[in-house]
Chain A
Amino acid sequence: MGVLMLWLGLLVLLPLSALILRPWQDGTAAMLATLHDSRMFAALGTSFSCAALAALANIPAGLILAWTLARVDLPGRRIMDALIDLPFAIPTAVTGITLATLYGPNGWIGSLLAKIGIQVAFTPAGIVIALMFVGLPFIVRSIEPVLRELPLDLEEAAMLLGARNWQIALRVILPPLLPATVTGFGLAFARGIGEYGSVIFIAGNKPFFSEIAPLLIVVRLQEFNYPGATSIALLLLIASLICLIAVSFLRRHVSRGLIVGDTP
């Protein structure tokens, strides 16, 4: 018990309390002054919108992958299953330089996109690509177990009653998957707003354009502007905590009456 308190206290509570208390140390007025910073709001806006967009774009891909993993019995399913976790296994800095090279003007994919006039690297689109790579497993792994539990009878009944494939997908399968999809979205979003290593290489980091909030913390620290850095950090922490509380709340409600609840 003592070990638990000491370990938790020294390694987690102490540094986090510094984060929460430090901004108020120079007075509330000084704290509020750090919030009058248009560059900070631009960076937070970029982080939030890119994370939301990436998580949203991952939903169709995540649904298709989860479906294949849960329902289709093809050779190579185990390999695909292992590949889904790849973004977690690759360290973020490695992901960062790899995606920057791949989508850069001379990269394998970047040069193809350049031919049709699309530039991904060094724009917010690059940030979205990086966050999609990092967030995909969250979406797939949230939906997949629910899909496995979903009884096949429902689909068969719908088919016998003459429903077409798209009707089955839209009316029978998707509604019970909605809570799990929102959960996956929330997890990917929370991860996305804090993500640093995989994004900074491809983002180009132009202030007011493609600068993410975690990078601005680093910039403020290099300027020795501790209060500025701490305010952004505190806002990021609050945002991701709200996300995770919402997700765990949703999960608790989902685990009750998931299958009977949403299907008539």
Chain B
Amino acid sequence: MSNGRTKGLPGLSLAVMSWMIVILILIIPPILIFAEALHSGFVAAIQNLLMPDALMAIRLTLFITVIAVSINAICGTLSAWALSKYRFPGRALLISLIELPISVSPVVSGLIWLLLFGAQGWWGDFLIRHNITIAFAWPGILLATLFVTFPYVARTLLPLMEQQGRDTEEAAALLGAGFWHILLHITLPEARWALVSGILLTTARAMGEFGAVSVISGHIPGMTETMPLHIETLYNSYQSVAAFSMAALLAMMAMGTVGVRALLEARSHSTSGVVSDLT
């Protein structure tokens, strides 16, 4: 009881219970991923990842992630800037609309694009007549990913940009700086950690998205399967080692991204976890 922070309730027994919960619920599952992936040895795991369909899935996931993150990072930054520097009627509504995709079920996030571009969708006939494929092809996967990862950059930047105020920007404008110059040289450098943090969060979500992409991709191995979808195909055809090899790679990519973000955040002395940004 010499430590001030453990006063009150018995700290030790609660800490022991906490570690038991953490081990049972949070530590065993990731251990299992790697144990199953390495079930037939490291070489077999790597060989599984080098199969043609697996390589295609990895390439498609990287391709979709890069495009989706770029679009949402640029548009998210500009939107956060507009929302934080100006006051106008309907501003609060716009902010809640930006956050809306977080609360939509992944499957619904995929379905809405089918309603527009699917064969029975609003513009399905038009697309078929002009030989444009969006649903069951990579453009559809991209749209679903864009929707799911839509809010993260804007919402991590928004509170920071609001704090900044407009003084420095107005000073720069008076000295003759243009819009892009102000944004790139004055506003963003101050908010760079928040921007990087939002981009990393977007990246992690984009790589791992399953439900939304699953609905619109059509599941064609080697063509429209991203890494999460390929994991499902392998698992359902009882290729457990191959499925877990891919799962281990994807988990490492996503956990690495989130881990880098946590390190950056610890450096910039902010205490909010991933969850406070996600809710």
Contacts and interface: CB of A to CB of B under 8 A. Distances in A.
Interface residues of A, number: 90
Interface in A141-197: 141-142, 152, 155-156, 159, 165, 168-169, 173, 187, 190, 193-197
A69 B19 CA distance: 11
Given A8-B98, A68-B14, A221-B215, A197 B210 contact: yes
Nearest to A100: B235
Nearest to A244: B103
A214 B32 CA distance: 27
A12 B100 contact: yes
Nearest to A6: B75
A194 B32 CA distance: 26
A14 B86 CA distance: 25
Interface string A202-225: 000000000000110110010010
B21 interface: yes
A212 B251 CA distance: 25
A4 B275 CA distance: 25
B231 A165 contact: no
B156 interface: no
B28 A102 contact: yes
B247 A233 contact: no
Contacts of B97: 8, 12-13
B78 A3 contact: yes
B250 A67 contact: no
Main secondary structure of the interface of B (DSSP, over half): helix
B29 A133 contact: yes
A118 interface: no
A64 B262 CA distance: 23
Given A18-B115, A73-B3, A197 B14 contact: no
A240 B115 CA distance: 20
A93 B79 contact: no
B4 to A, nearest CB: 8
B200 to A, nearest CB: 11
27 contacts: A4-B79, A8-B79, A18-B116, A68-B17, A71-B9, A72-B11, A73-B5, A73-B6, A83-B26, A85-B258, A86-B30, A89-B204, A89-B251, A93-B250, A97-B243, A109-B28, A136-B25, A152-B7, A155-B8, A156-B8, A194-B105, A194-B108, A196-B105, A197-B106, A226-B115, A233-B108, A244-B103
Q: Which 6 residue pairs across A and B have the least CB separation, nearest first?
A: A91-B208, A194-B105, A15-B112, A196-B211, A141-B275, A197-B210
